[in-house]
Amino acid sequence: MNVIDEWSGRHACALQAAMRATNEQFARRLGVAVRTVASWHSTPGTVPRPEMQEALDTLHEQANEAVQRRFQSLMHRAVTTDAQALQVAIAVAVRGDEILLVCRRGGAGITWQFPAGVVKPGHIPDAVAVQETHAETGVHCSVRQHLGSRLHPVTGVVANYFLADYLAGEARNVDPLENTDVVWAPIKSLTKFIPLDSIYPPVMAALEGTRE
């Protein structure tokens, strides 16, 4: 049996396809609104809430052998697709009770973001996160922890998140062609810059831990 560490919309849709269920049938089995299932199809990188993670676990575990085989095949295709997708490394850099943010010039409907860069073939994501943070903001940082990866719900790229600690450097806009501003924002005010539903849940959990 395939074990899913964290369900995404893509995984849920694969289970639905393996069960050969309509949106209405799948929603009924999970006890959710049909629009929830539809949202997983439109934004496959979405990470469902913890209670929905449990419901998907249960439905997956109760599936018969034929469904399990189809699900495994569909998951293999999804992993292959993700491996070929564009990847970015994202630095969630903290300094005390502050977090480093950059303001992008348009693009993909996002304004304020964490520093990030494209991971080219043969490059290591955590090293890219550190290098791009310095290239964009002048800040030196070191990676403390890999927070996980997902298909970004807005950009559709594979996003790798890293919690990083500030080492040195004055935050400034080193890349004015791409960014309009760079700030150290209070962690408690993060959702004033980036909507909560756009933030990868493990990022919020890690930031809450840094404030304890």
Same domain, 101 and 78: no
Same domain, 99 and 180: yes
Domain stop point among 84, 111, 145: 84
DSSP 89-129: EEEEEEETTEEEEEEESSSTT--EE--EEE--TT--HHHHH
Contacts of 157 (CB under 8 A, 6+ apart): 85, 86, 87, 88, 151
138-175 confidence digits (pLDDT tens): 999 999 999 988 877 777 788 899 999 999 999 999 99
Mean pLDDT of the chain: 86
Cβ pair 39, 83 in contact under 8 A: no
182-194 confidence digits (pLDDT tens): 999 999 999 999 9
**3, part of any domain:** no
Contacts of 101 (CB under 8 A, 6+ apart): 112, 113, 114, 182, 183, 184, 185, 193, 194
pTM above 0.85, yes or no: no
Same domain, 36 and 99: no
